[in-house]
Structure 1
Amino acid sequence: MKKPSISVRQLAKNDFEIIEKAFMDQGWHKPASQFEQYAEEQDKGERVILVAEYLNKFAGYVTIKWKSTYPPFLEEGIPEIVDLNVLICYQNNGIATELMNEAERIVADTHPIIGIGFGLIKDYGAAQRLYIRRGYLPDGRGIYQNRRQLNRGDQVYVNDDLALYLTKSL
């Protein structure tokens, strides 16, 4: 059930600077130009950007890419949830859950399966647990880095691009 203190809506042009400042205030680099690009993609029907407000203040966002850059999702026509972020000061208030609920609802209107990926480093621990609790399961293809499947013996640089991908039936 949606908490009355949380609202979710699509990105609007007057959000760009607000989002940039909110992330800058916590030391994260999320430039307004990123959201301008997202808005252009949203206008073209390539992406949906959902913004969450908590007590009428920007709290986080998530995007849905209708055509994933992860090769197996692209080949199978599986939309991907990308770039889920909640401001640190608003975490643990159900905001990520509400963003995910709305993203899944939107995708379920046209697709039976949704995909998501997460980084394998500690920074993604909360997201990893959230997605598993929501019923996402590994897609069985192992780990990827920069859109390349990794194999036994490969050497990797551990960063945000080292990822595992999951799917969920809607």
Structure 2
Amino acid sequence: MNIHIRALDERDPIIISQAFTEQGWDKPVELYLRYLEEQKQGTRVSLVAEADHQFAGYVNVLWHSHYPFFQDQGIPEINDFNVLIKYRRQGIGSMLMNRAEEVIKERSDVAGIGVGLFSDYGHAQILYAKRGYVPDGQGIYDGHGHKYLRYGDPLVVNDDVALYLTKSLT
């Protein structure tokens, strides 16, 4: 299989959205149009993986994370990392992560990433640990409520609740 990593371009939003719709995920075209605009503005780098010229996955680098600890520390964030189910376990995710880390290393010695807490994120949790990402020590963050969780806080576990990790790139 020939795998190629490149920057998101104008033809991608519809292709990506349709590919995720086909596997039952709601990823609207507007999301990728926003990514494309933010990439043009220089606030995001969106990387696309193709396997034998077919869309296989993507990852983003946010130069200014929305996560408070990364904002305060100036840590770029690897964000919204997805590989289509049919392309998983073939090295595509690792190639995307390698390239994202290379992009970050051009500006920072540290990369950050958030990971969900429930089983849907199990493969990502394992991948990040194997790649050397460790918890940032800030605890669990609720992105929807914009707060760090404390003992006894009520919680609805969803995609907005994450543990954030960092990795030294030196």
- Is TM more than 0.5 here? yes
1:1-170 to 2 correspondences below 5 Å = 5-146=2-143, 147-170=146-169
Distance 2:42 2:104 in 1: 13
**1:15, distance to aligned residue in structure 2 (A):** 0.8
**1:141, distance to aligned residue in structure 2 (A):** 0.8
**1:32, distance to aligned residue in structure 2 (A):** 1.1
Q: TM-score, normalised by structure 1?
A: 0.96
Q: Percent identity?
A: 53
Please give the root-mean-square deviation of Cα atoms over the aligned residues, in Å: 0.8
**1:36, distance to aligned residue in structure 2 (A):** 0.5
3-state SS, counterpart of residue 168 of structure 1: strand
Distance 1:128 1:6 in 2: 23
Structure 1 counterpart of 2:123, which letter?
A: A
Structure 2 counterpart of 1:93, which letter?
A: Q
**1:155, distance to aligned residue in structure 2 (A):** 1.1
**1:30, distance to aligned residue in structure 2 (A):** 0.9
Distance 2:105 2:132 in 1: 15
Distance 1:153 1:28 in 2: 32
**1:87, distance to aligned residue in structure 2 (A):** 0.4
3-state SS, counterpart of residue 13 of structure 1: coil
Q: Give aligned pairs, total.
A: 167
**1:91, distance to aligned residue in structure 2 (A):** 0.6
Distance 1:69 1:145 in 2: 12
Distance 1:60 1:106 in 2: 17
**1:16, distance to aligned residue in structure 2 (A):** 1.1
